[in-house]
A and B are shown apart, each in its own frame.
Chain A
Amino acid sequence: MTTRELSYSQAVQEALAIALENDPRVFLMGEDIGVYGGAFQVTGDLVARFGEDRVRDTPISELGGAGVAVGAALAGARPVYEFQFSDFATLAMEQIVNQAAKLRFMLGGKVSVPVVFRMPAGSGTGAAAQHSQSLEAWFGHVPGLKVVEPSTPEDAKGMLLAAIDDPDPVLVFEHKLLYKVKGHVPEGSYHTPLNKAAVRREGKNVTMVAAGIMVPKALAAAEVLAGEGIEAEVIDLRSIRPLDMDTIIASVKKTSRLICIHEGVKSYGIGAEISARISESEAFDCLDAPIMRLGGAEVPIPYSPILEKAAVPQEDDIVAGARKLLNGGL
């Protein structure tokens, strides 16, 4: 298996193409994913390659589209439904939360709902409050769903293929600013586990658990901190539900300090959950500082580019946070 450089969005498209090629049960649905190629040009020319039956434009009704996807999954198909913006999943909560997540359990395991929802998420594109949210923590609260957030092109492809083959509903959050990021992507079909975090950089002074777009920011911050003698261990969370606590606990036992970094609003967020689980784990007795959370500000994402940037953690905030934690400021 050789690798080459692809952008994140090319990697997602390649995963979709492989799935459409290999599995006749797979089909795509979403608004403007056909001839237009998708709101972020992720589906591109797939409609030309696989036809309108398998790359289906849907009306502007997220509830309707998601409902069809859940129904098709119940009937044995492997639908992949694209939301133009993950914010619009709020319109389809009934199908995602009340139907997809519940049916396997309510029907005694006699059915499964192998649907995939693709969720372009996050701020940084000037799309303002209704098109810039990071709502993954909401779905992390719902048993029956799997929620993943790949941060690299390689994982974007491997996790989407794993999600399509998974028997249960999976929400794949793709940060819009990552679409243009390039990286090595293996050829062919492969699965990246949907329940495993990845240690992206080893360090001994502080653990940074980052999700999605925060992974490259944490890695850049770790580079700056290394110049100051602070060795940060950066964990790419990859999966929001389930949480790979084993990897985080092992790291915190080593470093004694933890910073949780995510773009979603800090209150009731991923960092809060990880922090609580560390307190309940054997890693608690290894903590030598309070657990720090860096998350989105308590505001709707502003339209002003300056305020938009200020509303989510940036590399400088991570560097400053780590310095504060290491120098006993918290």
Chain B
Amino acid sequence: MATDVILPKVDMDMATGTVSKWYVADGDTVKKGQPVFDIETDKAAMEIESPADGVIRIRETRTGVALPIGEILAVIFAAGEAQKMDAPKAAAAASAATPAAKAAPAPEDKVVTISSSTSSQIRATPLARRLARQNGLTLGQITGSGPRGRIVAADVTSHSQAKPAAASLPVAPSTPAPEGLVVKPFDGMRKTIAQRLTQSKQTVPHFYLEATCTIDTLLAIRERLNATLTKSGKGKLSINDFIIKAMGVALQQVPAANVSYVDGGAAQHVSSDVGVAVSVEGGLFTPVVRNVETKTLSQISAEVKDLAARARDRKLQPSEYAGGSAAVSNLGMYGVEKFTAIINPPQASILAVGAAVERFVPVNKQPVLKTQMTVTLSVDHRTVDGALGAQLLQAFKTLIEDPALMLV
């Protein structure tokens, strides 16, 4: 039986996807599980494997073009099966000369259907279509949760609730390019960053809490531990590893702040899942370290290194940057003393960490040199109020100033 190779939904937020590369050519024999193409979603590149054994006939040869989820990209025919399928799109046919050279002989009963690539190709129920029409929404903007990516009424409702100003989101600015300047179009990741952070800043009521933490004790402990770790050939701990751990423990101490926003409520988290902002070429990811409260500093350190490396290669699975209730963003290494970060919804908070700076601090009316860093907690007021946010920050400050407390 022929098996369709569809553009899969690999990310919750995805409505379209882009094939960045084919590993096989039209007419190739493929094995189940063999990589056939790379999909580039808004945030990551992923290899998609063949769903069956047989001869692959590629129907949509275009790469770099946004296609709706569920689009049939190719068909895999079992050995000896009549290869009957829709013709590739007219636009693609012209540029498909190379793969066509390897194509199997065209069967006599080949059915040619040229379909137009309009919204009629997007799977949606009649009710979803009607609701979208009534709300002035384009189906292409909406992610379908039904079988094969079908958009159902609930998807339209949640979309219009989540993005009341969807039509006016300044993802594509109406500002024309100044003459003489080259415009570099946004790739999928930049589009997502633009869209999600605009949405966050516009719809999430942020407030900010700032605290200065004295970290001499932390630095001393870190120096001692790293000396031991180096001797035994293990990886060193960064200040950020301590910060992640302190955030995870603080969330356990103030569980009411360990929440995330859902439609009409706050989801109570049990474990401390902390996102870590990782800068990558052309953008950023926020992979999530799970169960921080149960992990040692070395485990956290190793995990962050692994996540960051794979983020830079854009090989993170979508599940690795989904969820969590809080995040940490650190720009201290650039000498930034303090800043405020935009919350990564649906998380309830994000901690912006500044550089460690030596300052004279009055102690018994005498100046004493101390190392301090300023942290700023951005909080989603829908789920966490000021006093609660302050308790979380206070817990963090106590832990980071005396890291031995994380042991108890």
Mark out the residues of chain A between 286 and 330 whose CB falls within 8 Å of any chain B CB in the assembled complex: 286-289, 328-330
Given A256-B153, A288-B153, A289-B152, are A328 and B147 also a contact pair (CB < 8 Å)?
yes
Q: For the complex, give the distance between the alpha carbons of A288 and B146 in Å.
A: 10
Q: Which of B27-35, B89-97, B123-131, B272-280 is found at the contact surface with chain A?
A: B123-131
0/1 interface trace, chain B 149-164, chain A, CB 8 Å (1 if under): 0101110000000000
Q: Are A288 and B147 in contact (CB under 8 A)?
A: no
Cross-chain contact B145 with A328 (CB below 8 angstroms): yes
Residues of B with C-beta under 8 A to A286: 126-127, 130
A288 and B127 in contact, given A256-B153, A328-B152 (Cβ under 8 angstroms): yes
Other-chain contact of A328, B127, B129, B130, B150 (Cβ < 8 Å)? B150
| A285–B127 alpha-carbon span in the complex (Å) | 5
- Answer whether residue A284 sits at the interface, using C-beta atoms and an 8 A cutoff: yes
Encoded as 1 (CB less than 8 Å from any A CB) or 0, chain B from 105 to 148 comes to 00000000000000000000111111000000000000001110
Q: In the bound complex, what is the Cα–Cα distance between A256 and B154 (angstroms)?
A: 12
Specify which of B128, B146, B152, B154 lies most central, judged by the most chain A CB atoms within 10 Å of its CB: B146
A285 touches B130 (CB 8 A): yes
Once A256-B153, A328-B152 are accepted as A-B contacts, the answer to whether A288 and B145 lie under 8 Å apart by CB is: no
What is the 8 Å Cβ interface bit string for chain B, positions 219-233, against chain A (1 contact, 0 not)? 000000000000000
Of the four ranges (under 10, 10 to 19, 20 to 34, 35 or more), the interface on chain A belongs to: 10 to 19
CA distance A136 to B152 in the complex (A): 35
Residues from chain B with Cβ under 8 Å of A330 in the complex = 147
A284 CB contacts on chain B under 8 angstroms:
126
In chain A, positions 223-261 with a C-beta closer than 8 Å to chain B are 256
State A23–B247 Cα separation when bound (angstroms). 89
Asked whether A287 lies within 8 Å of B150 as measured between CB atoms, the reply is no
How far is the CB of A323 from the nearest CB of chain B, in Å?
14
Please list the 10 inter-chain residue pairs (A to B) with the smallest Cβ-Cβ separation, ordered nearest first.
A288-B127, A328-B146, A288-B153, A285-B130, A288-B125, A287-B126, A285-B126, A288-B152, A256-B127, A328-B147
Measuring CB to CB, which residues of chain A are less than 8 angstroms from any residue of chain B?
256, 284-289, 328-330
Apart from A285-B130, A287-B126, A288-B126, 17 more pairs, CB < 8 Å = A256-B127, A284-B126, A285-B126, A285-B129, A286-B126, A287-B125, A288-B125, A288-B127, A288-B128, A288-B153, A288-B154, A289-B152, A328-B145, A328-B147, A328-B150, A328-B152, A330-B147
Could you write out 28 A-B pairs with CB less than 8 Å apart? A256-B127, A256-B153, A284-B126, A285-B126, A285-B127, A285-B129, A285-B130, A286-B126, A286-B130, A287-B125, A287-B126, A287-B127, A288-B125, A288-B126, A288-B127, A288-B128, A288-B152, A288-B153, A288-B154, A289-B125, A289-B146, A328-B145, A328-B146, A328-B147, A328-B150, A328-B152, A329-B147, A330-B147
